[in-house]
Amino acid sequence: MTEYELDAVDREILYALQEEARNLSSGEIAERTDASSSTVRKRIQRLESEGVIKGYSANIDYTKSGYPIRMLLFCTAPIPERGDYLDEVLDIPGVVSVQELVTGEENLLVTAVVKNDRDITPIAQELSDMGLTITDEVLVRSHESTSFDEFSAE
């Protein structure tokens, strides 16, 4: 698959969606981009079909929703197979993300959210049963993120 070439309108659409996808209409995004509302809708559809926009999700405060423990589990998998584990790891209850790392001995980063310390053990056991080696566990106190500013015209 070739890389999709973003133009200024595409980047501004992506920036707006990163900031507040739920609260912006295509008309409001159009005002930001100096494009028509129908152009924005078509561009969003194209960005989705090209896989640039992979989906939409809520930014959840897991602590406030009853899952106060966020754990990062650094794992090692055989290098040629590390990408093969991604879907299987995401199927583990409590796992909210997995990242394939390309440098270092630790080549998978698994993020899990749980209610209490005891809930980590079953996740770790499932990872181990898959053949992954957990090399480090990190308890996360807080997590914040922001929009990628390279998409902004400003």
Domain that holds residue 36: 8-58
Classify residue 64: in a domain, yes or no: no
Rounded Cα distance between 121 and 1, Å, is 39
Q: Are residues 82 and 128 in the same domain?
A: yes
What is the pLDDT averaged over residues 58-77? 91
Rounded Cα distance between 99 and 11, Å, is 24
CATH number at residue 120: 3.30.70.920
When pLDDT is cut at 50, 70 and 90, the band that residue 114 belongs to is very high
Q: Are residues 116 and 87 in the same domain?
A: yes
What is the pLDDT averaged over residues 93-104? 92
Predicted confidence (pLDDT) at residue 1 exceeds the cutoff of 50: no
Q: Which residue has the higher pLDDT, 138 or 154?
A: 138
Q: Are residues 50 and 73 in the same domain?
A: no
Using CA of residue 67, residue 72, residue 76, residue 80, what is the dihedral sign?
positive
Number of separate domains in the chain: 2
